[in-house]
A and B are shown apart, each in its own frame.
Chain A
Amino acid sequence: MSSQDVLTVLIAEDSATDRLLLAAIVQKQGHQVLMAENGEQAVALFAAQRPHLVLLDALMPVMDGFEAARTIKLLAGETLVPVIFLTSLSEEEALVRCLEAGGDDFLAKPYSQVILAAKIKAMERMRRLQATVLEQRDQLAHHHRHLLNEQRVAKAVFDKVAHAGCLDSPNIRFLQSPYALFNGDLMLAAFTPSGDMHVLLGDFTGHGLPAAVGAMPLAEVFYGMTAKGYGLAETLREMNAKLKRILPVDMFCCAVLLNVSFQRRTVEVWNGGMPDAYLLRATGGEPLPLVSHFLPLGVLPPEQFDDHTQVVPMAVGDRLFLLSDGVVDTRDENEQLFGAERLRQVLIANQVPGQLFEDIQAALAHFGGQPRDDVSMMDLCMVESHALSLPPLTYTDSGQSSPLDWSLHLEFRAESLKRFNPLPFLLHLLQEIHGLRVRSGELHSVLSELYSNALEHGVLALDSRLKRDACGFTEYYRERNRRLQALQEGYIRVGLQVEPLASGGRLTIEVEDSGAGFDVESVLGCSRAGQGFFGRGLSLIRGLSQQAQWLDGGRRACVVFVWVSEA
């Protein structure tokens, strides 16, 4: 018998003969024995020596077996100390009392050596089982605490990254579980330098840490490229390439990405694998679904990735509603899906915009679905551009060494125009001018407008009158993509000239294109009258700069920014 199998057995029995007889039997089986003459002694011995197993006579002087059993069980706490009652009682009621007092079994007098040995063995199995269960429970609890702590730390780090954005803008409402990160749900929003807003709602495959791991690099790319003024297409390409490179084959990220322009009143959308997002008109009516047309991020290699976006006009008060699959995939007890149609009904029935999430949650509850912890929703409202305050830009250098007298001329030809967006590069260069930094948003807006005018109306010869309604809008951007892909020749020349003035300086931007030009007087006349979607760009440029004119029959734009140094 190994030392592990040796038990300490407490025997409480008032009859000395029986006590010694039992002790002899138990010792013969190789166990150690403690002896008590009554219940009180038994309790005291138990408290002092913690035996593994207790044999208790039911009827004893001073304290009987029932009370002793109760006290011993209380002292033992969670540990299982089997108590076997020794009894000559045979009435059912007395035996029931033994069990009710906490006894695990009983042994009838006169004692059988064989049965006692078998019962001790059986009780020992139970005791070990209980000990194992408790040990594993404690281990699980330990691991769980450990896991929660790791999640807390990971979440704290991630929140620092995620909350760098502008989710707290007054035109955004969102709902997300605090541990959404570990469900793979990701919600990001940030301003571009020109005051547009980039928004991402993503959903990584899987749960737990693996789902959270991809979120960090994705957020870094999102914020980094948005802040530098890159558009959706470039940002999407970079995010896809990065995830493809770092994630295992079976992991990817469904995502819907938006560029909301408050100045142009448009939204640009790319949806890869997320449920339909919706455009809800302020005037009511049928919600416009923004459907997933692409594979999720991280699936396709860069050369196969499709970054085509859809542009839709919006009016002030129109809203964009984004959601994770937790909503439509909620199931009732019959495994029925809540589904897109029920959601559509709720969207149509919604009366108070601020109550939409509550309406949806009420509908889910009414549907009888199991509440899921991975329901993410976002509601973003189109507002006047001045209603939002852009965060101040931060710089790492003092600006003392900024160059103040230089000029630069660049020519972008067909192959570059197809693939390359020069705006982040140009903007970065202009950031070197300290006096212009506070106006980098305006600069970016003006540069974007000038460049897209030169490209779309000049090089690609697109007629902006196409954009007069929502349908034409879609057609316009489809045609833009088609012509750009087919482009063989043409150029855009950008000239930047920076000159110091007595107090401050002057920046002159010239953008020239190879197109046919336009009737400057009539287009500017239109834009003054504020007609339609076209001409808005030109008035924006005039509004933001000190001086703007179009030369060479509309083929060359010349825009001047003047700044006064703060010293």
Chain B
Amino acid sequence: MAVESELSQDGKLTIRVKGRFDFGRHMEFRGSYERLQSVPRCVVVDLKEATYLDSSALGMLLLLRDHMGGDKSQVSMVNVGSDVRKILAISNFDKLFDIS
């Protein structure tokens, strides 16, 4: 599985994306939060093993943010490597997401 997810007791959903994060991950990524019974309290996208991220991945992140309540959403990205960080920086996604 290139996308793994895990929901903690206190409602925190962690989504791990491995390898290339592009359109090929679309169904898996959406499935990881849409199949849940209720909207999680917050989402952490772990990009430790993501090697690449394209614009459709950015689109998927926007979908997730929208699902989580848009401006009120709590979506953060952790373990962001330098290549992926560059892509997020060019698009200024740090203005929408908490990136560390």
Contact B90 A252 (CB under 8 A): no
Contact B59 A295 (CB under 8 A): no
A178→B68 CA distance, assembly (Å): 39
Knowing A205-B55, A335-B51, A337-B83 are in contact, say whether A250-B63 is a contact too (CB < 8 A): yes
Contact A250 B60 (CB under 8 A): yes
Residues facing A in B16-39 (CB within 8 A) are 23
- CB-defined contacts of A249 to chain B, threshold 8 Å: 59, 62-63, 66
Does A251 reach chain B (CB closer than 8 Å)?
Answer: yes
Mask, A462-506, CB within 8 Å of B = 1, is 000000000000000000000000000000000000000000000
**Distance between A261 CB and nearest chain B CB, rounded to angstroms:** 26
Contact A252 B92 (CB under 8 A): no
A292→B94 CA distance, assembly (Å): 12
Residues facing B in A248-299 (CB within 8 A) are 249-252, 254, 272-275, 292-296, 299
**Distance between A307 CB and nearest chain B CB, rounded to angstroms:** 14
Closest residue of B by beta carbon distance from A304: B71
**Distance between B100 CB and nearest chain A CB, rounded to angstroms:** 19
Does A30 reach chain B (CB closer than 8 Å)?
Answer: no
Contact A274 B59 (CB under 8 A): no
**Distance between B76 CB and nearest chain A CB, rounded to angstroms:** 17
Which residue among A252, A299, A337 has the maximum number of chain B CB atoms within 10 Å of its CB? Answer: A299
Does A14 reach chain B (CB closer than 8 Å)?
Answer: no
Which residue among B51, B55, B56 has the maximum number of chain A CB atoms within 10 Å of its CB? Answer: B55
Does A206 reach chain B (CB closer than 8 Å)?
Answer: yes
A325→B54 CA distance, assembly (Å): 10
Knowing A203-B55, A205-B55, A250-B56 are in contact, say whether A275-B90 is a contact too (CB < 8 A): yes
Contact B59 A296 (CB under 8 A): no
A251→B56 CA distance, assembly (Å): 8
- CB-defined contacts of A337 to chain B, threshold 8 Å: 83
**Distance between A375 CB and nearest chain B CB, rounded to angstroms:** 15
**Distance between A218 CB and nearest chain B CB, rounded to angstroms:** 16
- CB-defined contacts of B59 to chain A, threshold 8 Å: 205-206, 249-252
**Distance between B11 CB and nearest chain A CB, rounded to angstroms:** 23
Contact A254 B55 (CB under 8 A): yes
Knowing A250-B62, A251-B59 are in contact, say whether A292-B91 is a contact too (CB < 8 A): yes
Knowing A205-B58, A206-B59 are in contact, say whether A254-B91 is a contact too (CB < 8 A): yes
What class of interface size applies to chain A in its complex with B?
Answer: 20 to 34
- CB-defined contacts of A206 to chain B, threshold 8 Å: 23, 55-56, 59
**Distance between A340 CB and nearest chain B CB, rounded to angstroms:** 9
A206→B60 CA distance, assembly (Å): 11
> Which of B51, B92, B96 has a CB less than 8 Å from the CB of A292?
B92
- CB-defined contacts of A274 to chain B, threshold 8 Å: 90
What class of interface size applies to chain B in its complex with A?
Answer: 10 to 19
A295→B93 CA distance, assembly (Å): 7
A272→B90 CA distance, assembly (Å): 8
Residues facing A in B80-94 (CB within 8 A) are 83, 90-93
Closest residue of A by beta carbon distance from B60: A250
Closest residue of B by beta carbon distance from A337: B83
Mask, B39-67, CB within 8 Å of A = 1, is 00000000000011001101110110010
A203→B54 CA distance, assembly (Å): 12
A296→B87 CA distance, assembly (Å): 12
Does B72 reach chain A (CB closer than 8 Å)?
Answer: no
- CB-defined contacts of B66 to chain A, threshold 8 Å: 249
- CB-defined contacts of A325 to chain B, threshold 8 Å: 55
A274→B55 CA distance, assembly (Å): 11
A124→B50 CA distance, assembly (Å): 47
Contact A295 B83 (CB under 8 A): no
Closest residue of A by beta carbon distance from B91: A273
- CB-defined contacts of A254 to chain B, threshold 8 Å: 55, 90-91
- CB-defined contacts of B58 to chain A, threshold 8 Å: 205, 252
A254→B55 CA distance, assembly (Å): 9
Knowing A249-B63, A252-B62, A335-B51 are in contact, say whether A273-B90 is a contact too (CB < 8 A): yes
A235→B51 CA distance, assembly (Å): 36
- CB-defined contacts of B90 to chain A, threshold 8 Å: 254, 273-275, 292
Contact A295 B56 (CB under 8 A): no
Which residue among A272, A275, A294, A296 has the maximum number of chain B CB atoms within 10 Å of its CB? Answer: A296
Which residue among A250, A254, A272, A275 has the maximum number of chain B CB atoms within 10 Å of its CB? Answer: A250
**Distance between A343 CB and nearest chain B CB, rounded to angstroms:** 13
Knowing A250-B56, A254-B55 are in contact, say whether A273-B92 is a contact too (CB < 8 A): yes
- CB-defined contacts of B83 to chain A, threshold 8 Å: 337
12 contacts between A and B (CB under 8 A): A205-B58, A205-B59, A206-B55, A249-B59, A251-B59, A252-B59, A254-B55, A272-B92, A292-B90, A292-B91, A294-B92, A335-B51
The 4 closest A-B pairs by CB, nearest first: A250-B59, A273-B91, A205-B55, A249-B66
Extra A-B contacts (19), CB below 8 Å, given A205-B58, A273-B92: A205-B56, A206-B55, A206-B59, A249-B62, A249-B63, A249-B66, A250-B60, A250-B62, A252-B58, A254-B55, A254-B91, A272-B92, A273-B91, A275-B90, A295-B93, A295-B95, A296-B91, A299-B62, A337-B83
A contacts, CB < 8 Å to B: 203, 205-206, 249-252, 254, 272-275, 292-296, 299, 325, 335, 337
